[in-house]
Structure formats: C-alpha cells, structure tokens
C-alpha cells in the first residue's frame, strides 16, 4: 500500500482531478455534495489518503478519526451507496495513475483497505455524534 501510494504522491493533483471526474461520471449524485473549490478538495482527499495509508500499522488509533469523519460525511449528505461509488472511482484512478504497477495484488490490497476504512466510517456515522474535533 505505502509503496503504491508513494508512486501516486508525485501526481497527487492530477490523480485527485481524475478521481473526482470519474466519481461524478459514475455517480452524478455525488457532485452536489461538494460546495467548495475542487482543487482544495483534491488536496484534502490526497492528504487524508496519505495519512490513512501511513497509519495502517496503528489502525486502532485511526478508528476514532475515521468514525468522526463518517459522522461529518453524514452531515454533508453522504449516503452508504456513495462509498461504493468512491471505491470504484478510487480503484479506476489508481489503475490509470499506476499503470503497470497496478497489479492484481495491488488492486486487491487497495480494495481491502478502502473497504475497511469505509466500513469504519459508515459504522461511525451511525453512532452518536462525537464531540472531539479532528483537524
């Protein structure tokens, strides 16, 4: 995961643009969820991915943050079906960006990790709102 993301990091802005274009193509209903500057949103996405991938070996510390993110996303109007659209767009973006480095093993690893992150966020969105702020 960390090795493949290291290949994406230098093209993060382009990858974020590809991701959102693909997401809006796959699921046009997601476009209304984004109100601000999409370049800024792309930076946030890549930053969150970078932090999550770097923190996988400390997953227990990542869980509370993911749950709060899930709660926050719920307030933005994110529905469970959107997580599947994001998964498809993310895997497509990685395939486009990583080219031959996007092996079946890399794809499987990303799908598994994203699925786990999304599951925790969705679970968190169903819990009482947390009072702790995340930055």
Of the chain, the percentage scoring pLDDT greater than 90 comes to 90
Predicted confidence (pLDDT) at residue 73 exceeds the cutoff of 70: yes
In a domain, 75, yes or no: yes
Radius of gyration of the chain (CA): 14
> Is residue 130 predicted with pLDDT exceeding 90?
no
Q: What percent of the chain clears pLDDT 70, i.e. is strictly above it?
A: 96
Q: What is the mean pLDDT of residues 53-79?
A: 94
Cα 51 to Cα 113: distance, rounded to the nearest angstrom: 13
| pLDDT, tens only, 88-117 | 999 999 999 999 999 999 999 999 999 999
User: How many structural domains are present in the chain?
Assistant: 1
Q: Is residue 57 part of a domain?
A: yes
> Quick check: 107 and 65 in contact, CB under 8 A?
no
What would the pLDDT profile of 25-49 be if each residue is shown by its tens digit?
A: 999 999 999 988 999 999 999 999 9
76 dihedral zone (left: phi>0; alpha: psi -120 to 50; beta): alpha
Residue 77: other Cβ atoms inside 10 A: 11
pTM summary value: 0.90
Residue with structure tokens 């890399």?
Answer: 106
What is the C-alpha to C-alpha distance for residues 119 and 66, in angstroms, rounded to an integer? 9
Average pLDDT, the chain: 93
CA–CA separation, 99 and 114 (whole Å)? 19
Would you say residue 58 lies in a domain?
A: yes
Residue 26 lies in a domain: yes
* Structural domain span for residue 110: 2-125
Q: Which residues of 86-124 are buried (b: 16+ CB within 10 A; e: fewer)?
A: bbebbbbbbeebbeeebeeebeeebeebbebbbebbbeb
Instruction: Please determine, for residue 52, whether its predicted confidence score (pLDDT) is greater than 70.
Output: yes
Residue 1 has pLDDT above 90, yes or no: no
| The length of the chain, given as a count of residues | 135
Q: For the domain that residue 15 is a member of, what is the CATH number?
A: 1.10.490.10
């Amino acid at each position: 995961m960390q090795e493949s993301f290291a290949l994406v990091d230098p093209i993060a802005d382009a990858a974020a643009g590809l991701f959102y274009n693909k997401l809006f193509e796959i699921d046009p209903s997601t476009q209304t969820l984004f109100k601000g500057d999409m370049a800024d949103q792309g930076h946030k996405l890549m930053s969150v991915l970078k932090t999550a991938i770097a923190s996988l070996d400390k997953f227990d510390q990542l869980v509370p943050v993911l749950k709060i993110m899930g709660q926050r996303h719920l307030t933005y109007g994110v529905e469970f079906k959107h997580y599947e659209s994001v998964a498809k767009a993310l895997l497509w973006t990685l395939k486009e960006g990583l080219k031959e480095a996007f092996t079946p093993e890399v794809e499987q690893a990303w799908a598994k990790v994203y699925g786990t992150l999304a599951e925790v966020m969705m679970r968190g969105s169903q819990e009482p709102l947390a009072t702790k702020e995340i930055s």
